[in-house]
Amino acid sequence: MQQLHSYLSGGWVFGQGQAREIHHAITGEPLYQVCSDGLPLAASLDYARNKGGRALAQMTFQQRAQMMKAVAKHLLVHKEALYEISYQTGATRSDGWVDIEGGIATLFAYAGMAGRELPDDTLWPEDEPIPLSKQAQFAARHVLTSRPGVALHINAFNFPCWGMLEKLAPTWLAGMPAIIKPATATAQLTQATVRLIIDSGLVPEGALQLVCGGIGDMFEHLDYQDAVTFTGSAQTGQHLRAHPRLLAKSIAFTMEADSLNCCVLGEDVTPQMPEFALFIKEVCREMTAKAGQKCTAIRRIIVPAKRVAEVQQALLQRLTGVTVGDPKLEQVRMGALVSREQRDDVQQKVEFLLHHGCEPLCGAALDKLELAGEGVQKGAFYPATLLYCADPFSHQAVHGTEAFGPVATLMPYQQTEQAIELALLGQGSLVGSLVTADEALATRFIRATACAHGRMLILDRHAATESTGHGSPLPVLMHGGPGRAGGGEELGGLRAVKHYMQRTAIQGSPAMLAAIGREWMRGATVIEDPVHPFRKYFEQLQLGESLLTARRTVTEADIVNFACLSGDHFYAHMDKIGAAESLFGERVAHGYFVVSAAAGLFVDPGVGPVIANYGMENLRFIEPVKIGDTLQVRLTCKKKIRKPQKNAEDRPHGVVVWDVQVLNQHQQAVALYSILTLVARQEGDMGPAR
């Protein structure tokens, strides 16, 4: 029988103890053995820190992003091999798509976010400088640096590919190596993905390791710079979080646990409305996708008491049409649970619920399950099961017992306030949904229940055409939740990267802060050169390089002409009497005239390295500009972001962020902002610039 090897300290290894046998979810046949006993688990931590960690820490954010993009492309080329393994876990093609291509898409998403927003540096200035003194010679800012530790990711069985990649993306971007411990039941898919990544040679050695089996005494060797993430049952997660080593060393621990997520039908919705059909479709999809083995699946279906019969009828009609069996068959819509052990656990939880206030509406009986396909009778199949709890306020089991399979419980409420109370009885959820067409109802419900959910979906006919659905975590949105859901956060855009970095408040002079952050700030020394900065290529520009422009006096004709050109005839600019009664006391120039006039002062008009204006940030108008005021601009190179070439035809360039200070005749700032320009590079990634 195949042995599923771990990848530790640069080699593929197998344990020496009693191996655990894993079976095919569809046929029940033995697949492979798993064992990590006797492996150098503690040594793998040092290997990650000293080998992979050091290599990643020397790479800039931009280089890490390019590495991840290359890995994602490589995995996409080999995705069909992963789909073949995914079938062995009981997943349909659509289930596998969420897991495999969803995970790859997350790598692409984080590579893209980093490419657009993170510096080409190893240090990340998190915020704008914070002045701490009147003379502006003492300031502070928060910076993020890589921690010289290792991230130990303990993952769940239901998403062996996505669950790994969605954690790897921010971990690698943060410059931290990772050791992956997948759930044994589906470890073959995780291992195949890791093997593809290792064999590609795209990541530094030691940046990724894999433990197939138990983690032994690894917790005993963790240190304060390390991090642990856990996805799985709340009971196991709470046990791990209380480990003495984690407490003694204050080791970061992030937990994402299964929760009893709810979907609420608003009391405004009738069967004739589009929202009713959307509700039925969403509930059934979340019950049957991945055979209900999703931490975000809908477990509690909360509907107005007056709609129970109609909802029940619609759900039963849809659920009884779901074909269960071999996921390779085109007509099959729901595959198997991951193992017979998991199926038995679901059956026990269902029986518990049936003895604590629930009654079966469909499913719940294995002997009546009809399967499509040959040789599937020994598979870990379970029917789509709908239960009903007539009194959800008296029977707390429906709010605390989760059957991790295609199982959900229908329950009634009288008014919206009761629906709110039922939603909160889940004691913390990853996601909750509300289906309604009533904005006032949605406002009341969300404001009352957001405190207990990590994510909330409001679904109506307008959102439905583009909605990603109740159960789909997205890279840009936070994934996690309070209470029973674990109290942790994953994803959420670049905020996830910060979980693996050290935030430090740095205090000092502007010059010192600029040097440390490699980003010029106001108050720091400027460099003045007779050559206009717009005449210089990206590589030639220095941080702090500055231009103090000529002056321009604002006239009444300027204001009138700009008003006619722009169509902006606001009274403060054009009405002498109205302006006199305003807070300005007289007519003032348009703010956008000030910005336009500033550009006229600092722009060099000739053909040169500056390719285009890329945007403007943090614009503030500080003082009014009146007729007769004289403007002058200080333009300073604040930050440079080198952009990689996409292909040989792409002109090599980078983004330059310029600090703009528009001053009046008293040297007072009247407008402050940053502009971004695309500036050509002299040398490209693929040869000299043409």
DSSP 478-546: EEEESGGG-SEEEESTTHHHHTTEEEEEEEE-HHHHHHHHTS--TTS--EE-SS-GGGS-TTT--TTEE
Q: Are 388 and 409 in contact (CB under 8 A)?
A: yes
Cα 444–chain centre separation: 27
Cα-based distances in Å from 205 to 163, 370, 540: 22, 49, 35
Alpha-carbon distance 469 to 277, whole Å?
14
User: Which residue has 């929202």 as its token pair?
Assistant: 275
Alpha-carbon distance 429 to 432, whole Å?
7
Q: Are 517 and 133 in contact (CB under 8 A)?
A: no
Alpha-carbon distance 421 to 417, whole Å?
6
Alpha-carbon distance 168 to 178, whole Å?
7
111: number of Cβ within 10 Å: 24
Nearest to 553 by CA among 485, 490, 621, 632: 632
Q: Which helix (H) or strand (E) element contains residue 241?
A: helix 234-241
Specify whether the backbone of 591 is left (phi greater than 0), alpha (psi in -120 to 50) or beta. Answer: alpha
DSSP 583: T
DSSP 99: I
Residue 402 tokens, joined: 């989760």
What are the φ and ψ backbone dihedral angles of 7, each rounded to 5 degrees?
-120, 105
Q: Which of 166, 256, 275, 490 is catalytic?
A: 256
Alpha-carbon distance 252 to 151, whole Å?
9
- Reply yes or no on whether 101 is catalytic: no
Q: What SS3 class is residue 358?
A: strand
Q: What SS3 class is residue 145?
A: strand
- Report which residue type is found at 551: R
Q: Are 33 and 20 in contact (CB under 8 A)?
A: yes
Cα-based distances in Å from 585 to 201, 569, 591, 665: 68, 17, 16, 19
For residues 519-535, one letter each, b for 16 or more C-beta atoms within 10 angstroms of the residue's C-beta and e for the rest, the string is bbbbbbebeeeeeebbe
- Reply yes or no on whether 29 is catalytic: no
- Report which residue type is found at 195: R
Q: Are 46 and 15 in contact (CB under 8 A)?
A: no
What are the φ and ψ backbone dihedral angles of 248, each rounded to 5 degrees?
-65, -35
HEC profile of 143-179:
EEEECCCCEEEECCCCCCCHHHHHHHHHHHHCCCCEE
Give the E-state strand segments of 24-117 in sequence order.
30-34
User: Which residue has 């336009």 as its token pair?
Assistant: 596
Q: Which of 262, 295, 358, 637 is catalytic?
A: 295
Cα-based distances in Å from 267 to 306, 309, 551, 634: 9, 14, 65, 60
Nearest to 486 by CA among 231, 199, 280, 133: 231
Residue 205 tokens, joined: 């050695």
- How would you classify the pairing of strands 669-680 and 610-621? antiparallel
Q: Which residue numbers are catalytic?
A: 256, 295
